[in-house]
């Protein structure tokens, strides 16, 4: 067993950032170019919902299935396999000649992309010492705001100049480059592999019979209700109730993404310095302010709306950094991949549930305004407070890196 030197450790972390950026950009792009897809394929509301849910449902199912076998394989081999599948399925998306095959392509992308988060954080937990996992988690999770600032606007430009297929070809090519880089930067990580294969029944017991794992799963559900209950109707509420111009929404995401991408790695460093529990509670406490302000927002000046939405993006997404740092260390090395894969499946299901609850609470007036968004905000605030209490129940394994020489 050997430890990574600081230079190789940084290369590894930035490679994982590239992996995360690949599938974050891909999933964001579908929503961004939806108007083009609606025109090209003449999509009905039902087909739109099918297209959006194809990735989420397949990603959740993939994560659930992967939780039973992911720990049987070397982390590097698992990363290369699923990232390679993601490259192929993203290219398949770009080449889909009709809606039916586009739907199949998005489902395939979800199958491979849905497991990559679990593999990424399993590598962080196995290859990096406990005291540097927060900083690594912060850098990896900064991929989402980076996609809002760089890759999605760039993809939209390609789509407008060429066609909707162009950004997916770009993301497929980018992911292929990351795959090649991962070949050289990701070490072989097989110390967790057991000689004897564990049965599905024993694996289920190991996952669901562990109270520490259950605390993570429960908190993930609360996390999604604390954020996605609001995010699900973020743009419609902004346009209908706040009377914010649709043409200014890209600028809003650019500014919010810029600040979030700068702050997320910093939150990770604070986690390593002060612990995940303390930092989570501080960030979550501050996040209550923009949640309340946004869900009670009325027609306001451009500057005030940008200020509130930026605060929302920075602190609501910032909570994921200490949570993922804690969740990564909540399982022993032998079950970390399965635990994180199952956690990812819980996340996908919880996102759908949070959006459904918001849709049940909200009503639309004859004027097209949404009523009850303040209630959605109180649901998110309540879930946030429960998370602040629940985070202390997650016990961390401070195991040392265990690398298997290639």
- SS3 assignment for 108-173: HHHHHHHHHHHHHHHHHHHHCCHHHHHHHHHHHHCHHHHHHHHHHHHHHHHHHHCCCHHHHHHHHH
Domain containing residue 99: CATH number: 1.20.1250.20
Cβ contacts of residue 32 below 8 Å, gap of 6+? 152, 155, 156
The answer to the question of residue 1 being in a domain is: no
**Structural domain range at position 314:** 6-393
> On the CB side of 201, how many CA atoms lie within 13 Å of its CA?
0
| pLDDT of amino acid 388 | 96
The answer to the question of residue 331 being in a domain is: yes
Length in residues, the chain: 406
Cβ contacts of residue 348 below 8 Å, gap of 6+? 56, 57, 59, 60, 63, 114
The answer to the question of residue 405 being in a domain is: no
CA dihedral 109, 112, 113, 118 (to 10 degrees): 160
The answer to the question of residue 46 being in a domain is: yes
The answer to the question of residue 402 being in a domain is: no
| pLDDT of amino acid 301 | 93
User: Which of 220, 225, 206 shows the shortest CA–CA distance to 67?
Assistant: 206
| pLDDT of amino acid 2 | 43
> How many structural domains compose the chain?
1
Say if residues 223 and 283 touch (Cβ distance below 8 Å).
Answer: no
Tokens of 201: 């029944």
pLDDT tens digits, residue range 219-236?
999 999 999 889 878 878
pTM assigned to the model: 0.78
Say if residues 316 and 290 touch (Cβ distance below 8 Å).
Answer: yes
| pLDDT of amino acid 183 | 93
pLDDT tens digits, residue range 177-206?
999 999 999 988 877 666 566 666 777 777
Q: What is the pLDDT along the chain (406 residues), one digit of tens a residue?
A: 346 777 888 899 899 999 988 888 887 788 778 778 878 888 775 677 678 778 888 888 888 888 888 888 888 999 999 999 999 999 999 999 999 999 999 999 999 998 898 899 889 888 888 788 888 888 888 887 887 777 777 877 888 889 999 999 999 999 999 999 999 999 888 776 665 666 667 777 777 778 888 999 999 999 999 998 898 788 788 888 999 887 888 788 889 888 988 898 899 999 989 999 999 999 999 999 999 999 999 999 999 999 999 999 999 999 999 998 898 888 877 778 888 888 888 888 888 788 888 888 988 888 888 899 999 999 999 999 999 999 999 987 655 455 443 3
């Amino acid at each position: 067993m050997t430890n990574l030197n600081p230079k190789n450790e940084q290369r590894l972390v930035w490679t994982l950032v590239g992996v995360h950026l690949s599938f974050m950009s891909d999933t964001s792009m579908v929503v961004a170019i939806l108007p083009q897809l609606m025109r090209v394929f003449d999509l009905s509301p039902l087909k739109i919902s099918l297209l959006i849910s194809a990735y989420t449902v397949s990603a959740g199912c993939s994560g659930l299935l992967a939780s039973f076998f992911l720990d049987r394989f070397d982390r590097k081999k698992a990363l290369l396999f699923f990232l390679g599948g993601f490259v192929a399925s993203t290219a398949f998306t770009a080449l889909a000649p009709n809606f039916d095959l586009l739907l199949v392509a998005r489902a395939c992308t979800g199958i491979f992309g849905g497991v990559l988060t679990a593999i990424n954080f399993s590598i962080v937990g196995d290859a990096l010492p406990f005291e540097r996992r927060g900083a690594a988690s912060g850098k990896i999770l900064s991929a989402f705001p980076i996609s809002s600032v760089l890759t999605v606007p760039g993809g939209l430009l390609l789509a407008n100049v060429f066609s909707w297929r162009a950004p997916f070809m770009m993301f497929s090519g980018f992911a292929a480059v990351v795959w090649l880089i991962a070949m050289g930067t990701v070490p072989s990580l097989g110390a967790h592999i057991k000689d004897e294969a564990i049965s599905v029944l024993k694996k289920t017991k190991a996952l669901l019979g562990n109270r520490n794992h259950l605390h993570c799963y429960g908190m993930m559900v609360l996390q999604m209700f604390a954020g996605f209950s609001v995010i699900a109707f973020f743009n419609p509420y902004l346009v209908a109730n706040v009377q914010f111009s649709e043409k200014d929404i890209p600028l809003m995401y650019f500014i919010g993404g810029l600040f979030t991408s700068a702050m997320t790695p910093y939150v990770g460093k604070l986690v390593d310095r002060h612990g995940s529990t303390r930092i989570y509670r501080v960030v979550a406490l501050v996040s209550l302010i923009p949640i309340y302000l946004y869900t009670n927002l009325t027609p306001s000046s451009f500057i005030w709306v940008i200020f509130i939405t930026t605060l929302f993006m920075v602190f609501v997404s910032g909570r994921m950094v200490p949570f993922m740092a804690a969740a990564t260390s909540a399982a022993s090395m032998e079950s970390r991949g399965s635990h994180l894969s199952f956690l990812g499946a819980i996340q996908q299901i919880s996102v759908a549930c949070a959006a459904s609850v918001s849709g049940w609470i909200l009503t639309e007036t004859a004027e097209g305004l949404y009523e009850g968004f303040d209630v959605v905000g109180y649901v998110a605030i309540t879930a946030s407070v429960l998370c602040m209490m629940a985070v202390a129940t997650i016990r961390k394994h401070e195991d040392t890196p265990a690398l298997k020489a290639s």
